[in-house]
Amino acid sequence: MKIAVLGAGAWGTALAISACQNPLARHTVTLWARSAEQAAAMQAQRCNQRYLPDIPLPAELLLRADAPADLGELVAGQDLVIIGTPMSGLRQMLRDTAACTAPVAWLCKGFEPPDSMPYGLLAHEIRAQLATELIANEAAGYGVLSGPSFAQEVARGQPTALVAASARAEVRDALVAAFHSPSLRVYASDDVAGVEVGGAVKNVLAIATGLCDGLHLGLNARAALVTRGLAEMTRLGLALGARAETFMGLSGLGDLVLTATGDLSRNRQVGLLLAQGQTLQQAVSSLGHVAEGVYSARTVAQRADSLGVDMPITHSVVALLDGRIRPADAVASLMGRGPVPELT
């Protein structure tokens, strides 16, 4: 296959490396960077010094830095296009690749920051809004690739499992063919909404779990938080048309456990640093990378409120990030809630 990965952050680079080194197929992979300087540096150093400094780029991996207005030329003739930008850039990237006639899939997790609407949209909802602008791509279809995965481990070829979700079987098949390998298993799903909700909410819950661990509340507290967080995630997903079983899989429980407990999780690190007394600005600055949960927490809460979905952990995280409560107060507010049946 000819595969274009648009976005040279950690995750886009990792998947480009994985596809390029797939021993099951001889893919031709192009990695596009928004910055010409970054692309030139990667070409000279044969590594992504900013995001994956210790991992060499395969000699076969092609690097480009076309202007966004010229992306039509890059995606022409590709068999699959992967968008690896943050959620905030997805809408424009879909527009920039409107002439693409190959399947398009995105990697970003979260809700788009609200603009004209009172709440943010999931990626497939953004795509639906732009349907009249993306007629050329309509026949090929779209999807999402998600699941429990740290970019460093994927780039190193360590065992990982992902979910390729699309309403179209041919898109799911294309994603499996592109990335399924001896070190990367790719499972197929048609529940796009469920996979996207899992990817969005787990980042917020990881901040809460990091806070819990940073305050040394114990493993009992962590288990309770992860489990009740999964219940929140599932409630929101069902309200958005997802299936409950999706949240028991890789893009739900799997991604939540990894992001909430893994030391490579940037969202978990935010919670840990807040528990240590750092300000939000200090915590985010020290990471050097985007922690999506910081930017999506309020949007997740707004979307839940618009649907009448109760998400107390998410609301506590928002209050903490806004500086309205202290770390210890966030825990007290959750533990002080009245008793309710578990399966609600």
Q: What residues form the annotated binding site for NADPH?
A: 11, 34, 51, 109, 151, 266, 290, 292
Q: Which among 90, 132, 83 is positioned nearest to 115, based on CA atoms? A: 90
Q: Scanning the structure block, which residue is given the tokens 């007290």? A: 332
State yes or no: is 2 an active-site residue: no
The DSSP-derived string for 53-97 is EEEEPPTT-EEE---GGGHHHHHTT-SEEEE-S-GGGHHHHHHHT
Token pair listed for 96: 């920039």
Question: To which residue do tokens 């996207």 refer?
Answer: 196
CB 153 within 8 A of CB 10: no
From 91, 127, 202, 303, active-site residue: 202
**Residue 38 near residue 50 (C-beta atoms within 8 A):** yes
Binding-site positions for sn-glycerol 3-phosphate? 109, 147, 149, 202, 255, 265-267
CA gap 203, 193 in Å, rounded: 16
Rounded to an integer, what distance in angstroms lies between the CA atom of residue 314 and that of residue 254? 19
Q: Nearest-CA neighbor of 13 among 60, 61, 59?
A: 61
Which tokens in the block code for residue 114? 């609200």
SS3 205: helix
* Known binding-site residue numbers: 11, 34, 51, 109, 147, 149, 151, 202, 255, 265-267, 290, 292
Catalytically active residues are: 202
